[in-house]
Amino acid sequence: MRFIAIVLASLLVLIQYPLWLGKGGWLRVWDMQRQVDVAHAKVQELKERNTKLASEVNDLKEGTDAVEERARFELGMLKKGEVFIQVLDQSKTKQ
């Protein structure tokens, strides 16, 4: 009787092995699902970035406001007749 119990227990373990550790086992499925979730998050992040870039390209093609804003902030350019005034923070200059 004890021999039959040991054989049945070992068969049960052998049957469970592919379920947990085999090619289509739960651990592999869980790992693949985690990889898919990471890929979906990356795709969503890239879609948002593409939307922002497309909007910026459209602004640069259509209007002059975006070009003027970039020229002012990134290149320090001014319109004719404008005067540039720089205000320094006193607390930062006395350190």
Number of domains observed in the structure of the chain: 1
The predicted-structure confidence for 7-64, as pLDDT tens digits, reads as follows: 888 888 888 777 777 777 788 888 999 999 999 999 999 999 999 999 888 877 887 7
Structural domain for 60, as ranges: 2-76
Would residue 92 count as lying in a domain? no
DSSP 59-92: HHHH-SHHHHHHHHHHH----TT--------HHH
pLDDT score, position 37: 97
Tell me the C-alpha distance between 15 and 24, whole Å.
Answer: 13
The predicted-structure confidence for 60-93, as pLDDT tens digits, reads as follows: 788 777 778 778 888 888 888 888 777 888 776 6
- Examine the pLDDT at 95 and tell me if it is beyond 70: no
pLDDT score, position 63: 77
Would residue 94 count as lying in a domain? no
pTM, two decimal places: 0.50
